[in-house]
Structure 1
Amino acid sequence: MRKITIAIDGYSSTGKSTVAKQLADYLGYVYVDSGAMYRAVALYAMENGIISDTHFDKAKLIETLPQIQLYFEKKNDWEKAHIFLNNRDVENEIRNLEVSGFVSPIAAIPEVRAKLVAQQQEIGLKKGVVMDGRDIGTVVFPEAELKIFMNASAFQRAQRRYKELVEKGENIQFEAVLKNLEERDHIDSTRKDSPLKKAENAIEINNSEMNIEDQFHMVLQLAKDRIAGRV
């Protein structure tokens, strides 16, 4: 059976990572959470005094990019591959709202995107990969056999994200989560370098009223059709 490249793009908290991981597990493909890579760079910038609520030293970030080493590793008892920042597992650290607030400004830096896109493209050379993000179908894998664009209302996405954070024990207000999502949507959609947009030949799925199981089966059928060459 031939292997294909599957690109899943969309807004924050649309369930891209969930369905991408499900699909990769079912097909036996490599799953890459490109958003985790940008989050890891944001964490590095926070920890090294490069970015905060009051300043952002873009020149220093660009200068220190060669010092940022990222890779994914999956152990047998892990549900998914974890991202490592300079040999340190930061999978859990990058998922809080504080890091989320700095991801979009970090991702808007052309030099950051160039570094991470090159790594992502290298991972996908052998195909058999499912990657989710915001520019996978437009920039990273423009020739992907299957491109999907995930969408949902900001309110629905904020509810999902809020529930996830509360379950992790974070003390956070729903309004703060909604505001963060709306700000990220604006930055991601209006940045000059690789803005978030639907690829011309992508299939858009609005999952505002869709459960995880129905979403997975819809995407799986699309993948099966592409693999079989039916579309």
Structure 2
Amino acid sequence: MFNIAIDGPSASGKSTIAKQLARILNFTHIDTGAMYRAIAYQCLKNKIDLNDEIGCTEVANHSVIELLSNGEVFINDMNVTQAIRHEKVSQGASAVSRFKGVRQRLVEMQQEMAKSKGFVMDGRDITSVVLPDAEVKIFQTADVAVRAKRRYDQLIANGANVEYDDVYTDLVNRDYQDTHRDESPLMKVDNAVEIDTTYLSIEESVALIMEIIESRGLK
């Protein structure tokens, strides 16, 4: 058994591809982005300013997050699966992820979840911080315009009233925040394989990663 760590910017297809890999390999998928969204949701629910580092860290330290195999997300026994997919919560996730205390708490949870083998974990700091010893490390990216179109289509399909230009601007801002924050910035580690999904389908991206796994003789 082995672990797969996938990092990359928003809307690069990380979670979708991670879920497919987990299904094929019969592994467990851990969507760390959902965990940050859950903390952001809890902060918003309790009317805590997302720029309040102490307040957001306090929320994280008093939260228990569960990720079920069917994709459902619970925080403190409350099902927030749908609630955390709203754009305001996604933006909030990028805000709270800046804080050292929040990241430390969630990294502890993530490492505890994946302390054995057989996990596919995706996020922003998985290859560099959470699972630095993962046998397979992927840095997944795509052109920002393509990522914005993917996110826009997803939001429209979910009934959101958004404009493409706003989604594009939000992604550009989130990319900057993710790569320039002091705590665990998004980066490609030296031993990660970069996969650009701009012109690849989900199936093609999954096939590429499966080739990497097979070429290393992993089972």
TM-score interval w.r.t. the shorter chain?
A: over 0.9
Q: Which amino acid in structure 1 is aligned with residue 62 of structure 2?
A: Q
- Give the TM-score of the pair, scaled to structure 1: 0.91
Which of 42, 45, 70 matches 2:43? 45
Which of 5, 8, 15 matches 2:6? 8
Identify if the C-alpha distance between structure 1 residues 226 and 122 changes in structure 2 by more than 3 Å, giving closer, same or farther. Answer: farther
Q: Which amino acid in structure 2 is aligned with residue 162 of structure 1?
A: Y
Q: Which amino acid in structure 1 is aligned with residue 42 of structure 2?
A: Y
Written as runs of structure 1 = structure 2, the 5 A alignment for 1:62-73 is 62-73=57-68
2:182 alignment partner in structure 1? 192
Where 2:184 maps in the other structure, the secondary structure is coil
Deviation at 1:97, TM superposition (A): 1.0
Which of 18, 34, 37 matches 1:36? 34
- Give the TM-score of the pair, scaled to structure 2: 0.96
CA distance in 1, matches of 2:65, 2:192: 28
Q: Which amino acid in structure 2 is aligned with residue 64 of structure 1?
A: V
The answer on whether the counterparts of 1:97 and 1:177 sit within 8 Å (CA) in structure 2 is no
Written as runs of structure 1 = structure 2, the 5 A alignment for 1:49-198 is 49-51=47-49, 56-74=51-69, 80-198=70-188
1:77 alignment partner in structure 2? none
The answer on whether the counterparts of 2:39 and 2:59 sit within 8 Å (CA) in structure 1 is no
Where 2:115 maps in the other structure, the secondary structure is helix
Q: Which amino acid in structure 1 is aligned with residue 90 of structure 2?
A: S
Q: Which amino acid in structure 2 is aligned with residue 34 of structure 1?
A: T
Q: Which amino acid in structure 2 is aligned with residue 194 of structure 1?
A: S
CA distance in 2, matches of 1:199, 1:192: 16
**Percentage of identical aligned residues:** 39
Which of 223, 226, 231 matches 2:213? 223
Q: Which amino acid in structure 2 is aligned with residue 159 of structure 1?
A: K
Deviation at 1:223, TM superposition (A): 2.0
The answer on whether the counterparts of 2:43 and 2:59 sit within 8 Å (CA) in structure 1 is no
Matched, 1:202 2:197: no
Which deviates more, 150-159 or 213-222? 213-222
CA distance in 1, matches of 2:218, 2:57: 43
CA distance in 1, matches of 2:62, 2:217: 39
Where 1:125 maps in the other structure, the secondary structure is coil
Gap regions ≥5 residues in structure 1:
75-79
Alpha-carbon RMSD across the aligned residues, in angstroms, is 1.3
Q: Which amino acid in structure 1 is aligned with residue 121 of structure 2?
A: M
CA distance in 1, matches of 2:61, 2:150: 35
Between the two proteins, the alignment pairs up a number of residues equal to 219
Identify if the C-alpha distance between structure 1 residues 227 and 46 changes in structure 2 by more than 3 Å, giving closer, same or farther. Answer: farther
The answer on whether the counterparts of 1:139 and 1:194 sit within 8 Å (CA) in structure 2 is yes
